[in-house]
């Protein structure tokens, strides 16, 4: 809560853009809302006061609110003000909203939910991919797995290669709504590794599972692809659940943090 002016590493678009004010305000407010600092139903201070307090113009603040409103986090009406909506109405599948959730330590329920979703989506997507994949999909998948193998999941490159592989499977499924879930699944994949990393050792070499999925998709076997992917995600789930229990136990010990 220091009067920080350092933009720090907040939000910059993919292309290394400098952060715009409306974007940073939307980011900060978004994080504050999903982390519960503003309770659902609560009404934000009015535009004039709040924008002054945030040291930005009313226009910039309003654009930030438009962004939050577009993602379902708030709702504004004349006279009433801008109210935080109920969490059911939040656009959880929105990449930004999900990122805001993960900006602070996310709710374990959300982690569980994401894994459950992955267990539902990814095997089915792999089956579809086995039927519809084009040669270039296989090229991308193979490249991703090779990068993953070379850099390992301990590196940023390896983790992003992991996400690239899962993205490619969804892409190869040839289903538009499934492709839109890529960022959601990607967030799940990312946090799998994060949680795994909290354990001292990586409990299991992830590569064989991945190659099995790839082989099944390449061979055009939907059912083999489905079960291989189910195996892969299931293993990740078990590892993560173990790490999650452990870190919760640790938290119980030192609440100091």
Binding site for DNA (CB under 7 A): 17-18, 20-23, 44, 46-48, 55-60, 62-63, 65, 76-82
Q: Give backbone dihedrals phi and psi of 75, rounded to 5 degrees, phi first.
A: -145, 125
Nearest to a second copy of 26, 243 (CB atom): 26
The one of a second copy, DNA, none whose footprint includes residue 248, by CB under 5 to 8 A per kind, is none
User: Whole-angstrom Cα distance, residue 249 to residue 22?
Assistant: 39
Strands 74-77, 81-84: pairing is: antiparallel
Gap between the terminal Cα atoms of the chain: 17
Among 19, 28, 66, 131, the residue binding a second copy under the rule CB under 8 A is: 66
Q: Which of 4, 8, 88, 255 binds a second copy (CB under 8 A)?
A: 88
Does position 36 interact with a second copy (CB under 8 A)? The reply is no
By CB under 8 A, the residues from 118 to 177 that bind a second copy are 120-121, 124, 128, 175-177
**Residue 22 in the binding site for a second copy (CB under 8 A):** yes
Find the Cα–Cα–Cα–Cα dihedral 204, 205, 211, 213, rounded to 10°.
Answer: 20
Q: Which does 88 bind (CB under 5 to 8 A by kind): DNA, a second copy, none?
A: a second copy
SS3 content of the chain, % helix, strand, coil (to 5): 65, 5, 30
Q: Hey, what are 73's tokens?
A: 């986090």
Residue 147 burial (CB count, 10 A) = 17
For residue 92, CA distances in Å to 206, 207, 217 come to 28, 30, 30
Nearer to DNA, 7 or 248 (CB): 7
Tokens of residue 4, six digits: 């920080």
57 binds, among a second copy, DNA, none (CB under 5 to 8 A by kind): DNA
Residues that bind a second copy (CB under 8 A): 13, 17, 22, 26, 59, 62-63, 66-67, 69-72, 75, 77, 87-88, 90-96, 109-110, 113-114, 116-117, 120-121, 124, 128, 175-181, 184
């Amino acid at each position: 809560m220091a009067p920080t002016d350092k933009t720090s590493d907040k939000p910059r678009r993919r292309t290394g853009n400098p952060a715009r004010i409306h974007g940073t305000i939307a980011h900060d407010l978004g994080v504050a809302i999903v982390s519960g600092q503003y309770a659902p139903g609560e009404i934000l201070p009015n535009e004039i006061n709040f924008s002054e307090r945030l040291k930005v113009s009313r226009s910039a603040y309003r654009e930030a609110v438009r962004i939050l409103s577009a993602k379902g986090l708030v709702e504004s009406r004349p006279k009433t003000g801008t109210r935080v909506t109920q969490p059911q109405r939040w656009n959880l599948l929105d990449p930004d909203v999900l990122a805001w959730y993960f900006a602070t330590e996310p709710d374990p329920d959300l982690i569980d939910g994401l894994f459950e979703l992955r267990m539902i989506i990814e095997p089915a997507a792999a089956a579809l991919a086995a039927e519809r994949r084009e040669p270039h999909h296989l090229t991308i998948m193979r490249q991703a797995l090779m990068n993953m193998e070379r850099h390992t999941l301990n590196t940023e490159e390896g983790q992003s290669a992991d996400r690239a592989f899962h993205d490619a499977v969804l892409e190869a499924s040839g289903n538009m709504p499934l492709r839109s879930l890529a960022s959601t699944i990607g967030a799940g994949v990312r946090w799998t590794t994060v949680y795994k990393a909290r354990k001292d050792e990586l409990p299991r070499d992830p590569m064989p599972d991945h190659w099995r999925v790839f082989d099944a998709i390449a061979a055009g076997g939907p059912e083999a692809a489905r079960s291989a992917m189910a195996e892969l995600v299931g293993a990740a789930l078990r590892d993560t659940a173990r790490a999650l229990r452990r870190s919760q136990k640790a938290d119980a010990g030192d609440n100091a943090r």
